[in-house]
Amino acid sequence: MQLIMLLLPFITTAVAVPASPACGQASYDPLQYQCDDGRLCPITNGDVQRRCGNACYSQYNYTCSANHTLKSLPHAVGPFLLQVLSANSSLNGQYVQACTSRFWIGDGPCTYCPQNVSRIGQCPPAGQTQLFEGSAMNVEVPGGQKYYLAPDGALSYTGINVGEIPEGAVLNATAYQDGMFIYDEVKYPPSTWMACPKINGTSLAGGRKPTPGVWQVFGILKGVSFQNRLGCVGVTLLARAGEKQFVGAWEYT
């Protein structure tokens, strides 16, 4: 009896596990779905989809009319910035920046303005990476610069020589005003974009340590594998209106 009394404090009792919430007749994970008027709608990269009639939709792609008809958002007019939407709190809300011919979260922008322009005080503020729908960057350098998806999916951009765009690259992005930034070629749900930790100037795995807080942006192109890239997470890119009175930079480097 004495032995039993000594053991009693160490006997654990079963703890009831909270039941999953229900939506109609179905239970669901509230981290992956929300229940909107009796219908389950997915949550993707922090994008909580909503119900419109019998369908679910993203507020960053469509609006829902009073008669439950979906209508695409208007296309971005003028320059825009890329903002990250993600369930990862360290990525969510950050802006994408251009640097070393690639696009990054947590680093950049990298810019250049020649001395003769700087001398007369005509260099742009250069604190933002601004794009236009399609493939043009908002720069002053003669000849301009273009952005594109490289064959490996890396969101990239040219120097002043537009001929640098590699064979097999994807151009002509679609940007909705305060909505999604996408390419037709990367519409592979649930994610269309990946953020991969920067490792010694790249995002390739190889036993090297990542640069803390810096991520490279990739589009999920069909046939491109991310198995050899460590720590990548799915993100959504949103086109946020830029300051129309300023160009983004004289040149992105």
Q: What tens digit of pLDDT does each residue of 171-214 get?
A: 999 999 999 999 987 765 556 899 999 987 556 555 566 778 89
The fraction of the chain above a pLDDT of 90, given in percent, is 61
Q: What's the whole-number average pLDDT of the chain? A: 86
Q: Is the CB of residue 236 less than 8 Å from the CB of residue 46?
A: yes
The encoded tokens of residue 184 equal 């037709």
Task: Please state, in angstroms and rounded to a whole number, the distance separating the CA atoms of residues 107 and 100.
Answer: 11
Query: In the chain, which ranges are continuous DSSP H helix?
Result: 2-7, 115-119
Cross-strand partners of 39: 36
Q: What is the SS3 assignment for 157? A: strand
Work out the average pLDDT over 85-92. 93
Q: What is the 3 state secondary structure string of 54-93?
A: CEEECCCCEEECCCCCEEECCECCCCEEEEEECCCCCCCC
The Cα 99–Cα 237 span in angstroms is: 17
Q: Please tell me the predicted confidence (pLDDT) of residue 246.
A: 82
Residue 138 falls in which region: left (phi positive, over 0), alpha (psi -120 to 50) or beta: beta
Cβ atoms of 110 and 102 within 8 Å: the answer is: no
The more confident residue out of 12 and 185 is: 185
Separation between Cα atoms, residue 148 and residue 169, nearest integer Å: 6
Q: How many Cβ atoms sit within 10 Å of the Cβ of residue 175?
A: 23
Q: What is the distance between the alpha carbons of residues 192 and 186, in angstroms, rounded to a whole number?
A: 5
For the segment 45-56, the average pLDDT, to the nearest whole number, is 91
Angle of CA points 151, 190, 234, to nearest 5°: 65
84, 92 contact by CB (below 8 A): yes
pLDDT-derived band at 252, boundaries 50, 70, 90: very high
Which DSSP symbol is given to 183? -
Average pLDDT over every residue of 140-145: 93
Per-residue pLDDT at 7: 47
The pLDDT of residue 230 is 82
**Residue 8 or residue 93, greater confidence:** 93
